[in-house]
Amino acid sequence: MSIFTKKLGIDLGTANTLVFVPGRGIVLNEPSVVAVSKDDNKILAVGIEAKHMVGRTPDSIIAYRPLKDGVIADYRVTEAMLRYFIGKALGKWNIWKPEVMVSVPAGVTGTERRAVIEAALRAGAKSAFVVKEPVLAAIGAGIPIHEPAGHMVVDIGGGTTDVAVISLGGIVSSISVKCAGNRLDAAIADYIKKTFNLVIGEQMAEEIKIAVGSAVPVEEAEELTMLVRGRDFVTGLPRTTDVRTNDTVKAIGKELREIVRAMRDVLQETPPELSADIIDRGITMTGGSSHLRNFPELVFRRTGVKAALAKDPLFCVARGTGIALDHLDAYKKSIIAKR
């Protein structure tokens, strides 16, 4: 690594944080989780190590996510987490302070944006830029955002879903809803508790979503089944049960309707000229939660517009930060707040 590499792009997500170094690609992809000891408030572990502790800690240790719905909920812990990720990405011999670009949800307030910049600067950045997630997702998905044509991007992460129509490098209309991957996990856990009298943890719920989840019902022959372990709600003893794909469809229907409603609202606000472009080009879906089976199909059924997954949806925002960092001048219209 050359001593002149001093740029970092950070996709600061509710569920995962990705760090992108121009020229090297994504160097780090870890859960946004921090383990803190209750007694002396010391930070014990960050990232993957801390994620393994979620739901498994003694009373003296709390493992939690410092970002809630894409926004900093715990400032001190977020700063420590950023410092850890920046240090890990640059390596321990690095003496230079990096320029850092951080992604924020489209619906972020000025105060929340300043909190992100402050946290990045205090975590060791020389200067910090903030860019809205849908713009970065579009850049990372390879969409030519500078041309005078409408592109619709839906970034579905862990904490927030950002829907935006982008034209001429800026956001024409956008909505950010606090309904995304984490809410889907919670809905699955809730459904299994009600239907099977089985209590499961958030990690198990996420595994079910990934292994057998679907956005639309499937034929019986195509259903996937997963053996789910948890605690019996009545007896309190461990028990297993089978969960099928169409169970998950029922479980997350309400949450998916909310995400699709956000897309419809943005489409309704879009000027007719750009709507025509979107019908031609379709909707681009990015973010980790857009991996849900048959999600594009659900979007098409509900909006009448074709939808397609971007290449490597999970990495789009992080790749976008890298591209924007390399061409700061070209993207300066989209970049907010710089110190």
For the chain (length 339 residues), average pLDDT per consecutive 10? 70 90 89 88 87 80 84 86 89 82 87 89 90 92 91 93 92 92 96 96 93 95 94 95 96 96 95 94 94 96 95 92 82 60
Does residue 19 fall inside a structural domain? yes
Q: Is 209 annotated as a binding residue?
A: yes
* Claim to verify: residue 119 and residue 148 sit in the same structural domain: no
Q: Is 210 annotated as a binding residue?
A: no
Q: Is 159 annotated as a binding residue?
A: yes
| Res 247: pLDDT | 96
**How is residue 13 written in tokens?**
């997500």
* Claim to verify: residue 276 and residue 175 sit in the same structural domain: yes
Residues 124 and 304: their CA atoms lie apart, in Å, by 47
* Claim to verify: residue 332 and residue 272 sit in the same structural domain: no
Report which DSSP code applies to 121. Answer: H
| Res 174: pLDDT | 92
Does residue 2 fall inside a structural domain? no
Residues 82 and 98: their CA atoms lie apart, in Å, by 12
Domain coverage including residue 152 = 143-309
* Claim to verify: residue 63 and residue 120 sit in the same structural domain: yes
Does residue 252 fall inside a structural domain? yes
* Claim to verify: residue 221 and residue 189 sit in the same structural domain: yes
* Claim to verify: residue 163 and residue 291 sit in the same structural domain: yes
Does residue 163 fall inside a structural domain? yes
**How is residue 99 written in tokens?**
């320029």
Does residue 128 fall inside a structural domain? yes
Q: Are 160 and 184 in contact (CB under 8 A)?
A: no
Residues 174 and 334: their CA atoms lie apart, in Å, by 14
* Claim to verify: residue 88 and residue 124 sit in the same structural domain: yes
Q: Is 240 annotated as a binding residue?
A: no
Q: What is the pTM of this model?
A: 0.88
| Res 169: pLDDT | 86
Contacts of 285 (CB under 8 A, 6+ apart): 154, 156, 295, 296, 299, 307, 308, 309, 310, 313
* Claim to verify: residue 202 and residue 224 sit in the same structural domain: yes
Does residue 174 fall inside a structural domain? yes
CATH code of the domain in which 249 resides: 3.30.420.40
The one-letter amino acid at 202: E
Q: Is 206 annotated as a binding residue?
A: yes
Distances (CA, A) of 338 to 100, 107, 116, 189: 10, 18, 11, 41
* Claim to verify: residue 116 and residue 33 sit in the same structural domain: yes
| Res 4: pLDDT | 58
* Claim to verify: residue 156 and residue 250 sit in the same structural domain: yes
Region of residue 124 (phi > 0: left; psi between -120 and 50: alpha; otherwise: beta): left
* Claim to verify: residue 152 and residue 129 sit in the same structural domain: no
**How is residue 165 written in tokens?**
């129509």
Q: Is 16 annotated as a binding residue?
A: yes
**How is residue 137 written in tokens?**
């997702």
Does residue 1 fall inside a structural domain? no
Does residue 112 fall inside a structural domain? yes
* Claim to verify: residue 119 and residue 165 sit in the same structural domain: no
Q: Is 23 annotated as a binding residue?
A: no
| Res 5: pLDDT | 54
Number of domains into which the chain is organized: 2
Q: Is 124 annotated as a binding residue?
A: no
| Res 336: pLDDT | 59
